[in-house]
Homo-oligomer: A and B are copies of this chain.
Amino acid sequence: MPSLVHYPLDPASRLIRLMCAEYGVPLDLEETKPWLREEALLAINPAATLPILFTDNDLPIVGIMATIHAVEDFYTPAAVGGLFPADPRDRAEMWRLVEWALVKLNDEVTRYLIEEKIAKRDQRGATPEPSVLRAAKANLAEHLLYFNWLLASRNWVAGEEMSLADFALAAHFSTLDYLGDIDWSKVPAETRDWYSRIKSRPAFRTLLNDRVVAMQPARGYADLDF
């Protein structure tokens, strides 16, 4: 069975867990905290990024770009449609929004919240910096406006069919939701409906059962009717 070195609330790890669940690939999960930069992690990946996938031939596949392509190459089931659209134009739109989630949203929102709310718990005496939390939440509000603008005119984030872009964005949403940083009462209906649809997929179940030690998820995190 392939195994994944991950952190439960790391959005890139969540994206690969979602892809594998969607494709029916069981995963052994091995947890690490990348910010601790433990020797065992650095020996495999000096960048200390996640996820890292070990396939059956035991070679590590390191980082989100490599793992996305490996899962797509090795594990797309022949019987069902994959997460990459067949039309090149739809694929370009998918990659644009995958990059938006993995780079821009991560850079402006998610990584700050993970650093302040989770990684700092492992630094003696460190507490979340309110100005950073405020900036991240203000940035998130801008992102939500854009996603809602997209979802007002399409079924899914990158077009009429569900794609990897939905999973990439949902991976970030699910982390932000766990941390209590999405105020659903203020999220417009289109985005809320989209997240409800993707959260109801069987592939999502594994994420909804995640619990981080000494940090309960926000109310509604695991509810399909949130």
Contacts and interface: CB of A to CB of B under 8 A. Distances in A.
Q: Give the interface SS of chain A, mostly helix, strand, loop or mixed.
A: helix
A98 B95 CA distance: 15
A46 interface: yes
Interface in A43-75: 45-47, 49, 57, 59, 61-66, 69-70, 73-74
Given A64-B99, A99-B65, A92 B46 contact: no
Copies of this chain held together in the complex? 2
A89 interface: yes
Interface size class of A (residues with CB under 8 A): 20 to 34
Nearest to A52: B96
Interface of A: 45-47, 49, 57, 59, 61-66, 69-70, 73-74, 88-89, 91-96, 98-100, 103-104, 107, 146
